[in-house]
Amino acid sequence: MPLDPDLLGAYLAACLVLILLPGPDMMFVLGQTLAGGARRGWAAVLGILLGALCHVALAALGVAAVIAAEPALFSALRLAGAAYLIWLGLQALRQAWSGGAVAVEAAPGAPRAPGVLPRGVVVQGALTNLLNPKVGLFFLAFLPQFVDPGRAPAAVQMLLLGPLLPILAVPFFALVIAGAGRAAGWLSRSARASRALNGAAGAIFLGLGVRLLLAPR
């Protein structure tokens, strides 16, 4: 077995503790669900999962260590991520100000492929995760603590352990999406409530961007 069973158990327990602490990813999913319903929330989850898997691979290959050792590169990624989140927030606030409706359901008669997630939101979720260098550094610092040098190569163990954290978070994302999606669907019947939902989503995105912008290295 490439992983130590005791270390694996400790890792899973640590993952559950981390998941129960609401973080930027959970807030991003909440904001997207409020802005466009459950389908948009699940698209955000898929994007976040893809971004997290990329960070795990970069940590296992040592790329994250290079970023950590280069303050200018780290700062550039952090600023890019913050700017992107702030831009998303401003877009949502502009839609709220202009009175745009929340796109929870397709317009009557409009074609819609069942089960297809909006690709734009998937890309947004992936970018917000990838452009946050703190996520990569987290995996770089967290995963090696559960690696057994006497077993498979460290990179292999990190690649096996890393995806477990975002996968275990999916049921918790589902709870957030279920609650927020129900509220969004109910409130979308009112134009004023729709503007309020967009405003709430914009405030969440802006808050995440400012938080990343002001966060210490």
Q: What type of residue is 98?
A: S
Q: Spell out a b/e string for 85-96, using b for 16 or more CB atoms within 10 Å of the CB, else e.
A: bbebbeebbebb
For the chain, what is the domain count? 1
Instruction: Please compute the mean of the pLDDT values over residues 67-73 and round it to a whole number.
Output: 72
Burial class (CB in 10 A: 0-12, 13-18, 19+), 84: buried
Instruction: Please compute the mean of the pLDDT values over residues 198-209 and round it to a whole number.
Output: 78
Residue 167 lies in a domain: yes
Residue 19 lies in a domain: no
User: 113-122, 167-176, 186-195: which has the minimum mean pLDDT?
Assistant: 186-195
The CA distance from 135 to 130, in Å, is 8
CA-based nearest residue to 166, from 64, 43, 26, 28: 26
Residue 148 lies in a domain: yes
CA-based nearest residue to 170, from 51, 49, 55, 54: 49
What pLDDT shows up at residue 191? 64
Residue 209 lies in a domain: yes
What is the dihedral angle through the alpha carbons of 47, 13, 204, 194, rounded to the nearest 10 degrees? 70
In the predicted structure, residue 132 carries a pLDDT above the cut 70? yes
What pLDDT band is residue 173 in, cutting at 50, 70 and 90?
Answer: very high
Task: Give residue for tokens 């279920």.
Answer: 178
Percentage of residues in the chain having pLDDT higher than 70: 84
Residue 127 lies in a domain: yes
Residue 53 lies in a domain: yes
Residue 210 lies in a domain: yes
In this predicted model, what pLDDT tens digit does every residue of 29-62 receive, in sequence order? Answer: 988 898 888 999 999 999 999 999 999 998 888 8
The CA distance from 211 to 209, in Å, is 5
Percentage of residues in the chain having pLDDT higher than 90: 25
Instruction: Please compute the mean of the pLDDT values over residues 123-151 and round it to a whole number.
Output: 86
Residue 14 lies in a domain: no
Contacts of 5 (CB under 8 A, 6+ apart): none
Q: Which comes out higher in pLDDT, residue 112 or 137?
A: 137
In the predicted structure, residue 207 carries a pLDDT above the cut 90? no
What pLDDT band is residue 91 in, cutting at 50, 70 and 90?
Answer: confident
Are the CB atoms for 160 and 8 separated by under 8 Å? no
Tell me which residue range forms the domain holding 55: 24-99+115-214
